[in-house]
């Protein structure tokens, strides 16, 4: 059984914009760029239709309530009615411990 992943170009643009803005503006938490991927899953196929950046409660704690509220807001839009939170994206410059 094959699996297909289709990524809307808006998702790639959002990711690039999010990363670039945090680097240029030297924002707090600019070493961590984290956001959500929304779309549809049909069988084993993923259709990524949108994305949004995460908010932080504290230094490195993601605001989960915001993520749920934002996903709900997308669903209220007719284009995104059947979307759900499929995953997240992360870009970091911090060194990760090796296993």
The domain ranges of the chain are: 5-89
Are 47 and 40 contacting, i.e. CB atoms less than 8 angstroms apart? yes
Q: What does pTM read for this prediction?
A: 0.73
Identify the burial level of 37 via C-beta atoms within 10 angstroms of its C-beta, where 0-12 means exposed, 13-18 middle and 19 or more buried: buried
Separation of alpha carbons 12 and 17, rounded Å: 9
pLDDT average, residue stretch 14-26: 82
Q: In the CATH hierarchy, which fold is given to the domain comprising 5-89?
A: Cytidine Deaminase; domain 2 (3.40.140)
pLDDT tens profile 49-92: 888 888 777 666 778 888 888 888 877 876 777 888 898 888 76
């Amino acid at each position: 059984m094959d699996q297909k992943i289709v990524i809307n170009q808006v998702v790639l643009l959002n990711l690039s914009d999010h990363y670039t803005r945090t680097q240029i503006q030297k924002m707090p938490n600019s070493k961590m760029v984290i956001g959500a991927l929304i779309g549809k899953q049909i069988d084993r196929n993923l259709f990524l239709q949108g994305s949004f950046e995460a908010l932080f409660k504290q230094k490195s704690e993601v605001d989960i309530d915001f993520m749920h509220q934002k996903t709900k807001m997308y669903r209220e839009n007719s284009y995104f009615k059947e979307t759900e939170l499929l995953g997240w994206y992360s870009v970091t410059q911090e060194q990760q411990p090796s296993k």
